[in-house]
Amino acid sequence: MRVTVRSIAFMLVVTMIGGVLLLSLSGLWKTTSSKTPVKFSTGEFAGLSNPADIRGSYSFADVEKNFSVTAETLANAFSFDTSSKPAGDYVAKDIEGAYGALVPEGGEVGTDSLKWFVSLYMGIPYEAEGDTWLPTSALDLLFREGKIDAAAREELASRSVEPPGEGMKSPVVITEHVESAEDGVIKGSTTYADVIAWGVSQQQIEEIIGMPLPGKTTNIRDHLQKNGLSFSTVKAQLHSLVDVSGQ
C-alpha cells in the first residue's frame, strides 16, 4: 500500500488536530496543572504533600488546600496586601514580581521561597536553592509561631530581604509596635492587626462586625464600607474595647 503526499498530509492533520479535538470533547485534554502536588510515599512524612512540588502557577488557596498553611499566613509572610485582593488569589509567581527589584544580586525571592517557607512552616525538610531568600516578614512569622528558633532565625537573616513597604504593605501580626498606626487611635488607615495589637481579640472584633475577619492586615474602614457597615459606629465600639484593654 502506497502513502502519497496527499494522504500523509491528511493523516497528520486528522490525527493531530482531530486527536486534540476528540480529547477536548472527552474532557481529557488538560493543558494546565491540576494543582495537586506529589505526596511523600515513604518515611516520616508519607502521605503529606511535598512542598518541593509547589509550582509557580499555584495560588495561595491551592497551597492552603494541599498544605496546613492558610492563604492568609502566606500573604502575611510575603507581605501581600489582602485589602485589595483576597489572600487566596495571589499566585506563587506573584512573589518574584513583587520582590524582583528588591533582592540584591545573587539572591532571589520567588516560587522557591514559597516552597521553602511552607516546608519550614510544616517542619518538612526541603533544600532551597542556594540563591533563594525569604522576606524578613516570613522569618518573623515563622519565629512568632514557633516554627523556627532564635538561632535559626539569626542564621536565616543573612538570606532575608525587607518586604516592599508601600502598595503591598502589611504590618504582619502583631507582637511589635505597628509603625503605621498611632497607638490606640482608630483612623482611616488602621487595620484589624493594629487593633489586635492594642489588646482586642479577634473574636471580640468579629462579634462587633458580625462576620469573620477577611484578614488581619485588612484596612478596617475599607472592609466595613465594602460590607455596608458604618465605620464610625464600629470605630466607637472598638475604641471602647481598646480603652478597656489599655487600662
Partner 1 sequence: MKRRGESAKRIRLTVQILFFVVVASTTVVHALEEMGISVPVLAGASLHAICPFGGVVTLYRLITEGAYVQKIHESAVWLLGIVMISTVLVGPAFCGWVCPFGSFQEWIGTIGKRLFKRRYNRFVPPRLDRVLRYLRYVVLIWVVVMTATTATLIFSAYDPYYALFNFYTGEVAVTGYVSLGLVMVLSLFVERPFCKYACPYGALLGTANLFRIFRLRRNASTCIDCKACDTSCPMNILVSTVAVVRDHQCNVCLKCTSEQSCPIPHTVELNSTRLEDVATREARQ
Smallest separation (angstroms) from partner 1 to the CB of 56: 8
Task: Note every long-range contact of 186-189, with CB atoms under 8 Å and residues 24 or more positions apart, other chains counting.
Answer: 186/220, 186/235, 186/238, 186/239, 186/242, 188/219, 188/221, 189/219
Binder to partner 1 among 12, 157, 236, 244 (CB under 8 A)? Answer: 12
Residue 23 vs 185, nearer CB to partner 1 = 23
Q: Residue 102, exposed/middle/buried by CB under 10 A (0-12, 13-18, 19+)?
A: middle
The CA distances from residue 133 to 42, 100, 113, in Å, are 29, 11, 6
C-alpha cell at 164: 516592599
> Pick from 35, 45, 48, 53: which binds partner 1 (CB under 8 A)?
53
Site membership for partner 1, residue 233 (CB under 8 A): no
Interface with partner 1, residue 101, by CB under 8 A: no
Backbone angles phi, psi at 191, to 5 degrees: -105, 165
Q: Which stretch binds partner 1 (CB under 8 A): 49-57, 78-86, 175-183, 230-238?
A: 49-57
Q: By CB under 8 A, is residue 203 in contact with partner 1? A: no
Q: Tell me: does residue 150 bind partner 1 (CB under 8 A).
A: no
> Is position 177 an interface residue for partner 1 (rule: CB under 8 A)?
no
Q: Which three cell numbers stand for residue 165?
A: 513597604
Q: Does 33 bind partner 1 (CB under 8 A)?
A: yes
Tell me how far, at minimum, the Cβ of 5 lies from partner 1, in Å.
4
Q: Which helix (H) or strand (E) holds 196?
A: helix 192-197
Residues 6 or more apart whose CB falls under 8 angstroms from that of 76 comprise 137, 141, 170, 172, 173, 216, 217
* Comparison of 91 and 234: residue with beta carbon closer to partner 1: 91
Q: Does the protein bind partner 1 through residue 19 (CB under 8 A)?
A: yes
- Give the footprint of partner 1 on this chain (CB under 8 A): 1-6, 8-9, 11-13, 15-17, 19-20, 23, 28-33, 37-38, 41, 52-53, 55-56
